[in-house]
């Protein structure tokens, strides 16, 4: 009988130590949500009248563009590029063994074509990924977050 008691004691101590540490490592998680840039939604775009809205109005309403580039399609025109980013990262770790992570980040790019100071067209693109330089500025580059 004393042998059984002797073997139970170390097992009980190990089980007790495990249970004492369990609450600290059951679920570890975190999330980061951030919007960068000026989001231009459909309601804002509805206010832009092709052939009438001026570059001055665009800049007054939306601020300075992310980039100003010569138009590829129409020589003599320029493109005002507005980019905005949504960074949404979530992760969790269960019992320090099972992990789960999600990255729902996206980029929205709105380009206004300007000819002689007037908007002559615009395009909207939504891209699934956020550029690395934006993630680095937000402190979420892959090297730091381990993904």
Is the residue at 137 inside a domain? yes
pLDDT: is 117 or 137 the higher one? 117
Q: Which helix (H) or strand (E) holds 126?
A: strand 118-127
Total number of domains in the chain: 1
Neighbours of 79 (CB within 10 A): 20
- Residue 12 is assigned to a structural domain of this protein: no
Domain that holds residue 118: 25-145
pLDDT, position 147:
41
Q: How many CB atoms lie within 10 A of CB 2?
A: 6
Work out the pLDDT band at 35, boundaries 50, 70, 90: confident
Both tokens of 89, joined, read: 């990262």
What is the reported pTM? 0.60
Which band of pLDDT confidence, cut at 50, 70 and 90, is reported for residue 137?
low
- State the pLDDT at residue 144: 41
- Note whether residue 14 is domain-resident: no
Torsion sign, CA atoms 51, 60, 81, 79: positive
Does a structural domain hold residue 2?
no
**Is residue 46's pLDDT more than 50?**
yes
Greatest extent of the chain over all pairs of C-alpha atoms, in Å = 98
């Amino acid at each position: 009988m004393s042998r059984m008691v002797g073997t139970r004691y170390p097992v009980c101590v190990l089980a007790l130590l495990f249970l004492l540490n369990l609450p600290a490592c059951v679920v570890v998680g975190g999330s980061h949500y951030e919007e960068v840039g000026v989001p231009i939604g459909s309601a804002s775009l509805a206010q832009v009248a092709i052939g009438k809205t001026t570059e001055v109005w665009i800049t007054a309403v939306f601020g300075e563009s992310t980039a100003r580039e010569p138009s590829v399609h129409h020589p003599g025109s320029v493109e005002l590029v507005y980019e905005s980013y949504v960074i949404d990262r979530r992760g969790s770790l269960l019992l320090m063994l099972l992990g789960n992570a999600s990255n729902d980040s996206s980029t929205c790019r709105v380009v206004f074509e300007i000819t002689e100071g007037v908007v002559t067209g615009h395009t909207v693109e939504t891209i699934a990924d956020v550029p690395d330089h934006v993630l680095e500025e937000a402190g979420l580059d892959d090297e730091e977050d381990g993904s």
